[in-house]
Amino acid sequence: MSLAKRLLARPLIAAAGLFAALVSSDAQSQAPRITLYEGARLIAGDGSPAVENSAFLVTGATFTRVGRKGDIPLPAGAARVDLTGKTVMPALVDMHGHFGFQNLAAGTMSKETFTRENLIDHLQRLAYVGVGAAVGIGDLVDRSDLHGGRTKWGDVPLRVRNEVVPGAAVFKTAGPGMAWPGSGAQGDPSRVDVSYGVSTPEEARAAVRDYAQLKPEFIKIWVDDREGQKKTLTPALYGAVLDEAHKANVPVAVHNVKLSDAKLMVKGGLEGWLHVPVRGGDVVDAEMIALVKDRIARNDRPVMWVTPALITGWMNMTGGAARPSWLDDPLLKALYSPQQIERYWGEPLKKMTPDQVARAKAAFAADGKNMMVLRGAGMIVVGGTDTGQTRHLMAFQNHLDLESMVAMGMTPNEAIKAATSDGARIGKFNTGLVAGGRQADFIVLNANPLENISNTRKIDKVYLRGDEVPRARYAANWAAKLKTAAAK
């Protein structure tokens, strides 16, 4: 090559070298972070025995290998984290929450509060306690008013379900729900008119057709006369809902009370229950058990799931003169002010008479027995808190839900499975299980919940999608909001 040609080639060579260096640097910056966690007791979430001295590899947002310490070599460039003395379990799944309406710092509720910012604040609170995914029910979203108009309530839950917000639980929506007019969600007026109000089979079918366009996780219906104080959906009405929903291939889940309704709903192919299916003094009988088993045997919508939501019943059992230890839990104190804790639960529990506590225990025992019988027949218990009213301790009750499951007869490992992998399977979330290919959502605990289920509250760290949740920053932010609200 001549001197002139060599001189002309030098800038090209230099440019090519620079380009190669930039490409290499960019490739390195885009490469997923790899971390090997070793030494923890691992509760996988599938009901299998815990693995002592475990190891698991997280690549980016995903578990890629799970085994024992020493079995998984440290990949080149990977970080190593020693979790000796800790217990790891999957993130929880809440299949039954009412999020968005509460201003948790002020202790108020309103439709105006249902904003993207507030909903994400609730999802961050869930993440703080180790919840990786949640389904909102009775959400504020634009729907038909069934008289030719629209409610014009916006689309916040529909937008948020399409987002992956760093440091927040993944969210799905079951839409606004459906009930006899005024007989859906009770309590604060902000939620009472949110659901479709239907009183004829024609209205029920029209509501389902509109509801299905929202692509909800399921259609929620209320079938509860509130101890004779309200009208409620009749068999003809919820029969029409089931028929129309199944035509659209949309599951249906119900808040109901009576055994007679539960039987008809099993016959009609209803998929989910958002409380114990038989309660309020009714008792599961042989016919109900046979109906559940028959559906499973015929493979006719065989997956029937329940969020027992017996948490407040369990909490009431702790009333009386002796103060329950959970009222002073640091996890609760990070979420609510001392004044709120006392107003919502401390003082009411303290004022409960021995007779009231005895009745609470009897009601919990009856409902828990019904649930365990139905579980034995084949219904699947999953986690769900029913948090939504101001007194419901959002996020904290996800852990009390586990305690209520154990109190009704499940083992700690069974309760964890219900609130993690089983809920994830029903909700179609890629979480709830420490296994290769699953989303790397996990909780690092300072104690073993298989010895005492309340140890799920002893949280050291939470990871969602492979990233540590900034719990200290969240707690500081909430403390500031609580201080500001108290000053007002």
Q: How confident is the model at residue 19 (pLDDT cuts 50, 70, 90)?
A: very low
Residue 25 has pLDDT above 60, yes or no: no
Angle in degrees, CA 197, 198, 204, rounded to 5: 130
Q: How far apart are the first and last CA of the chain?
A: 83
| 3-state SS assignment for residue 375 | helix
Residue of 229, 154, 147 whose CA lies nearest to 196: 147
The pLDDT score that the predictor gives to residue 227 is 87
Torsion of CA 11, 13, 17, 19, to 10 degrees: 70
CATH number of 94-429: 3.20.20.140
187: left (phi over 0), alpha (psi -120 to 50) or beta: left
Q: State how far the Cα of 289 lies from the Cα of 374, in Å rounded to an integer.
A: 7
Q: Are 419 and 398 in contact (CB under 8 A)?
A: yes
The pLDDT score that the predictor gives to residue 31 is 80
- Beta strands 459-464 and 442-445 are antiparallel
Residue 122 has pLDDT above 50, yes or no: yes
Q: In what order do the strands lie in the sheet with 92-97?
A: 92-97, 131-136, 170-173
Angle in degrees, CA 363, 366, 372, rounded to 5: 135
The pLDDT score that the predictor gives to residue 389 is 86
Give me the helices (H) in 378-450, please: 397-407, 412-417, 423-427
Residue 299 has pLDDT above 50, yes or no: yes
pLDDT averaged over the chain? 94
The pLDDT score that the predictor gives to residue 29 is 52
Residue of 427, 422, 413, 411 whose CA lies nearest to 381: 422
147-161 pLDDT, tens digit each: 999 999 999 999 999
Residue 456 has pLDDT above 90, yes or no: yes
pLDDT-above-90 percentage for the chain:
91
Task: Quickly list DSSP for 157-194.
Answer: HHHHTT---TTS-EEEE--S-EESTT-SS-SSHHHHTS
The pLDDT score that the predictor gives to residue 21 is 43
Residue of 106, 97, 114 whose CA lies nearest to 488: 106
Residue 16 has pLDDT above 80, yes or no: no
Residue 4 has pLDDT above 90, yes or no: no
In degrees and rounded to multiples of 5, residue 461 shows phi and psi of: -145, 160
Residue 14 has pLDDT above 50, yes or no: no
Structure token digits, residue 67 = 């085994």
| 3-state SS assignment for residue 122 | helix
Partners of residue 65 on adjacent β-strands: 57
Task: State the DSSP H helix or E strand holding residue 223, giving kind and residue range, or none if neither.
Answer: strand 219-223
356-391 pLDDT, tens digit each: 999 999 999 999 999 999 999 999 999 999 998 889
Residue 360 makes CB contacts below 8 A (sequence gap 6+) with: 313, 316, 317, 319, 352
Q: How confident is the model at residue 322 (pLDDT cuts 50, 70, 90)?
A: very high
Task: Quickly list DSSP for 306-328.
Answer: E----HHHHHHTT-SSSPPGGGG
Residue 23 has pLDDT above 60, yes or no: no
The pLDDT score that the predictor gives to residue 235 is 98
109-120 pLDDT, tens digit each: 999 999 999 999
Q: Is 483 exposed, middle or buried (0-12, 13-18, 19+ CB in 10 A)?
A: exposed
No. of H helices and E strands in the chain?
17, 21
When pLDDT is averaged across residues 330-340 and rounded to a whole number, the result is 97
Q: Where are the domains of the chain?
A: 94-429
Give me the helices (H) in 253-337, please: 259-267, 286-297, 311-316, 330-335
400-447 pLDDT, tens digit each: 999 999 999 999 999 999 999 999 999 999 999 999 999 999 999 999
Give me the helices (H) in 108-249, please: 116-128, 156-160, 189-192, 201-212, 235-247
181-217 pLDDT, tens digit each: 999 999 999 999 999 999 999 999 999 999 999 999 9
